[in-house]
């Protein structure tokens, strides 16, 4: 049974909770391991964190949360207060502590969240976490950095802290200093909400799971042959008809603009940027079925609920096609606070090459007209990528040298790359021939295979500076519930997060698999249905 976290919760029997907490504090005057009632494992190694922090310096005694612990934030920062409230909501149900968020930033002890560090080395997303017997301080230059530091703090506490009912504790944070910032700015996950539709709540749940591992981009694949999932006022049938089914023929669904904004706001509260994708000129059957005039022959095809690809194309020579593109991009750009708009461009097998090049030229110009930067699947590099465009590589290790060189040449020419090699980090690939969900066209992708490669050196001839980062797509032909999402994403997704975040110098499967194993109890505490890969030394149940 899944056990969704619900927070905030009412505190249970407060007196009992407080008494239990005080006695545990009383039992640890000397810090780590001093209490006779305390298993050594109660203090986790500093640095047993995924993704691996850039610098870990253990020292001194742990900090123990108590019923009196306060979360102290700078008095002039709404962002820090909001992150403090988020942390309190994570910690309250399991600890049973009140954990008031206070702006008493001159007091001592407790958990201090400090924004506005002048330390430039922390960058836009980095943080420093200092822990000792007197308290924990997380310092960052930006709210995103503070939020990522909070994710590290969660992982330094026992896994049971993630449960949504009161647990025994003790709640100790190992002593020392972590100084951390990401290797890449783009650490993404893509969710295909077209092949199967996922509700706002399902997307929010995935966002929470992504945030745990410092993923900072959520790419939503909003349209495909099987379903159009975002309301477009000027072409209403796209959503109401084109969104009315899915693979296998279920009812499908779509997001109203209000619902989509709710997803955006939730993602922003977890410091993820949403990158919307409208896939064009192929993968467009849902649109073609909704509006006959978009078809070259003027006849709307039926809705499609199978899993084939490459059979649909917008009608490149028709003027109305560009009215459609302009309207859709305009409305989507207006909804999008982020910089990027993804226009697909993959598997346009029913579009001639000349038409494809002509279409991508025009579509890219429309994106620029509405002030956004183009992202496209790497076939975009076979056209003329717009200035600043980003190409998402989804080939295989064994993709031919000519295709790889086309992508690398674009990278040398200024096109930035997001790496999503399909036989490495497509989360919809089966782990083995025996795992129940997923496809296998790119091969089987076990946990080690997903982790064991270097994004900086992956594509021959592409300058490392052109690599924006990594992104793990989850296509949903076989995936239709949150349990399915979790089974395919976990435990591969934390490995992708680590490739995106951690310095290359920390890359080591044998060390990683041990840190990953320690996430197992955390997945369980969070109710995440994960694949218990035999490659990972999970703790005994
Ligand atoms: C893709 O997998 N067709 C991008």
3-class secondary-structure state, position 376 = strand
Helices (H) and strands (E) in the chain, counts: 16, 19
- At 398, list the tokens: 């064994």
Distance of CA 232 to the CA centre of its chain: 26
Q: 511 alpha carbon to ligand 1 midpoint, in Å?
A: 32
Half-sphere exposure of 272 (CA within 13 A, CB side): 31
Find out whether 311 and 375 touch, Cβ atoms under 8 Å. no
Delimiting residues of CATH 3.20.20.80 domain(s) in the chain: 186-508
At residue 105, the pLDDT reads 57
342 pLDDT more than 80: yes
Looking from the CA of residue 422, the nearest atom of ligand 1 is: 2
CA-to-CA distance for 20 and 11, rounded, in angstroms? 14
At residue 20, the pLDDT reads 31
483 pLDDT more than 90: yes
413-462: pLDDT as tens digits? 999 999 999 999 999 999 999 999 999 999 999 999 999 999 999 999 99
258 vs 231, 272, 332, CA distance in Å?
9, 18, 13
Delimiting residues of CATH 3.30.379.10 domain(s) in the chain: 7-180
pTM for this model (two decimals): 0.92
CA-to-CA distance for 203 and 504, rounded, in angstroms? 31
Q: 232 alpha carbon to ligand 1 midpoint, in Å?
A: 24
At residue 31, the pLDDT reads 32
Protein residue with least CA distance to atom 3, ligand 1: 346
151-203: pLDDT as tens digits? 999 999 999 999 999 999 999 999 999 999 999 999 999 999 999 999 999 99
CA-to-CA distance for 460 and 208, rounded, in angstroms? 35
Pocket test for ligand 1, best of 224, 284, 345, 394 (most atoms within 8 A of CB): 394
Which homologous superfamily is 186-508 in? Answer: Glycosidases (3.20.20.80)
Q: Which residues line ligand 1 (CB under 6 A)?
A: 346-347, 377, 394
Say how many C-beta atoms besides its own lie within 10 A of residue 229's C-beta. 28
Looking from the CA of residue 309, the nearest atom of ligand 1 is: 3
Find out whether 420 and 186 touch, Cβ atoms under 8 Å. no
Question: In CATH, what class is 7-180?
Answer: alpha beta
Q: 346 alpha carbon to ligand 1 midpoint, in Å?
A: 6
More confident of the two residues 486 and 7: 486
25 pLDDT more than 90: no
């Amino acid at each position: 049974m899944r056990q969704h976290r619900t927070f905030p919760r009412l505190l249970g029997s407060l007196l009992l909770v407080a008494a239990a907490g005080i006695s545990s504090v009383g039992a640890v005057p000397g810090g780590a391991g001093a209490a006779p009632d305390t298993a050594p494992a109660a203090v986790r190694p500093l640095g047993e964190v995924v993704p691996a922090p850039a610098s870990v310096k253990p020292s001194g005694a742990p900090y123990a949360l108590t019923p009196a612990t306060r979360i102290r934030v700078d008095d002039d920062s709404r962002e820090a207060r909001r992150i403090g409230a988020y942390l309190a909501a994570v910690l309250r149900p399991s600890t049973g502590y009140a954990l008031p968020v206070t702006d008493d930033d001159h007091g001592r002890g407790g958990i201090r969240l400090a924004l506005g560090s002048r330390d430039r080395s922390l960058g836009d997303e980095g943080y420093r976490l200092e822990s000792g017997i007197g308290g924990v301080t997380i310092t960052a230059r930006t709210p995103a950095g503070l939020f990522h530091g909070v994710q590290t703090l969660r992982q330094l506490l026992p896994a049971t802290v993630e449960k949504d009912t009161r647990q025994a504790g003790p709640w100790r944070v190992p002593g020392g200093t972590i100084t951390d910032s990401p290797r890449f700015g783009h650490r993404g996950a893509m969710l295909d909400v077209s092949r199967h539709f996922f509700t706002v709540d399902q997307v929010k749940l995935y966002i929470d799971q992504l945030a745990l591992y410092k993923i900072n981009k959520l790419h939503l694949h909003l349209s495909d042959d099987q379903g159009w999932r975002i309301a477009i006022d000027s072409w209403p049938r796209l959503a109401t008809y084109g969104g009315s089914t899915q693979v296998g023929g279920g009812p499908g669904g779509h997001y109203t603009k209000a619902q989509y904004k709710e997803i955006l706001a939730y993602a922003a509260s977890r410091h993820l940027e949403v990158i919307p994708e409208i896939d064009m000129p192929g993968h467009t059957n849902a649109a073609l079925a909704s509006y006959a005039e978009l078809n070259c022959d003027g006849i709307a095809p039926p809705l499609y609920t199978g899993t084939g690809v490459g059979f649909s194309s917008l009608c490149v020579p028709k003027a109305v096609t560009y009215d459609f593109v302009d309207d859709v991009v305009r409305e989507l750009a207006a909804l999008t606070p982020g910089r990027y708009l993804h226009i697909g461009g993959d598997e346009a097998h029913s579009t001639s090459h000349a038409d494809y090049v002509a279409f991508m030229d025009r579509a890219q110009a429309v994106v620029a007209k509405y002030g956004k930067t183009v992202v496209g699947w790497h076939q975009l590099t076979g056209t003329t990528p717009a200035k600043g465009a980003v190409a998402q590589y989804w080939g295989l290790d064994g993709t031919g040298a000519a295709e790889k060189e086309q992508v690398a040449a674009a990278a040398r020419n200024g096109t930035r790359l997001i790496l999503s090699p399909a036989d490495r980090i497509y989360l919809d690939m089966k782990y083995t021939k025996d795992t129940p969900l997923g496809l296998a066209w790119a091969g089987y992708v076990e946990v080690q295979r997903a982790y064991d490669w270097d994004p900086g050196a992956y594509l021959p001839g592409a300058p490392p500076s052109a690599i924006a980062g990594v992104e793990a797509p989850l296509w949903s032909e076989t995936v239709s519930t949150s349990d399915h999402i979790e089974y395919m994403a976990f435990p591969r997704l934390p490995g992708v997060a680590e490739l995106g975040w951690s310095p290359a110098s920390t890359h080591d499967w044998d060390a990683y698999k041990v840190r990953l194993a320690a996430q197992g109890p955390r997945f369980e505490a969070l109710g995440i249905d994960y694949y218990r890969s035999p490659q990972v030394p999970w703790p005994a149940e």
